[in-house]
């Protein structure tokens, strides 16, 4: 079974994000970049399926500038077999990403597509669902457990009311939640081996997709700083401040 995993290059979650002086976006100058944490979980799940003998090949795909190859190489070091980079310096929004991934799915014909449920930069949580709709595949989102059984996959989903298990006929799309697994660290020997694994670079035009952003960012600004707390002397004073200053009652 071939598994396709999508990964995204984002600002490392440990980095304090800075907004540009003109409020047009986030300042990426000399900022440490990393693989999106949810994508790490997706890669780990694919590798575990391969270790169980369920998956025979893991293909990793990423969309973005040439520097995105760094995250693909990381996935290869974690156990993926080969990579595909869709190289573009343009802004890629959710629907365009889904269309590009659909083109890769048509070319590669994977039995299972695994994505992180969302990226920590835009937090849109849309690409997996859009890809499933475009490709005509069943989808299991927010997965906390994935069990492949023959030509089906059972996905336990985390929902507001608890857990729901859905059975999907392969091929299918799965998006990963935080509790699905704990990603491993890449060992130095595997990092060296990853440099020799095949990595193909294509453009959106090669896949027959024209990028057409539908959303425009008007302004980006930092959230307001929290004011310090105060102590009150009585319950009546607390109620008065909640009512007249905080205006929450």
Return the pLDDT at 230: 86
**Phi and psi at residue 124, in whole multiples of 5°?**
-75, -35
At which residue do the structure tokens 């071939």 appear? 2
pLDDT of residue 35: 97
Answer yes or no: pTM beyond 0.75.
Answer: yes
With a CB cutoff of 8 Å and minimum separation 6, the contacts of 199 are 69, 72, 73, 76, 82, 83, 84, 85
Query: Are 132 and 139 contacting, i.e. CB atoms less than 8 angstroms apart?
Result: yes
- Which pLDDT belongs to residue 119? 95
pLDDT of residue 247: 86
pLDDT digits (tens, 9 = 90+) for 56-102: 999 999 999 999 999 999 999 999 999 999 999 999 999 999 999 99
Q: What is the pLDDT of residue 224?
A: 84
In sequence order, which residues have a C-beta less than 8 Å from that of residue 30 and are 6 or more positions away?
none
CATH class of 2-244: alpha beta
> pLDDT tens for residues 92-107?
999 999 999 999 999 9
E strand or H helix that includes residue 116: strand 112-116
In which residue ranges of the chain is pLDDT below 50?
none
């Amino acid at each position: 079974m071939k598994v396709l995993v999508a990964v995204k290059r984002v600002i490392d979650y440990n980095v304090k994000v800075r907004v540009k002086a003109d409020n047009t976006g986030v300042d990426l100058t000399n900022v440490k970049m990393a693989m999106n944490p949810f994508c790490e979980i997706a890669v780990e799940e694919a590798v575990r399926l391969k270790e169980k003998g369920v998956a025979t090949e893991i293909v990793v795909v990423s969309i973005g500038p040439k520097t995105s190859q760094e995250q693909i190489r990381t996935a290869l070091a974690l156990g993926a077999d080969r990579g595909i980079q869709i190289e573009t310096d343009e802004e890629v929004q959710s629907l365009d990403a889904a269309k590009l991934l659909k083109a890769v799915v048509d070319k590669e014909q994977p039995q299972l597509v695994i994505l992180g449920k969302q990226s920590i930069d835009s937090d849109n949580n849309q690409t997996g669902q859009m890809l499933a709709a475009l490709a005509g595949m069943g989808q299991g989102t927010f997965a906390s457990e994935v069990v492949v059984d023959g030509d089906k996959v059972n996905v336990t989903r985390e929902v507001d009311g608890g857990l729901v298990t859905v059975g999907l006929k392969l091929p299918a799309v799965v998006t990963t939640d935080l509790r699905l697994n704990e990603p491993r660290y890449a060992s130095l020997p595997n990092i060296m081996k990853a440099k020799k694994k095949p990595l193909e670079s294509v453009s959106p035009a090669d896949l027959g997709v024209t990028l057409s952003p539908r959303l425009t960012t008007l302004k980006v600004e930092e959230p307001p700083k929290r004011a310090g707390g105060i102590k009150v002397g009585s319950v009546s004073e607390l109620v008065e401040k909640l009512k007249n200053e905080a205006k929450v009652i």
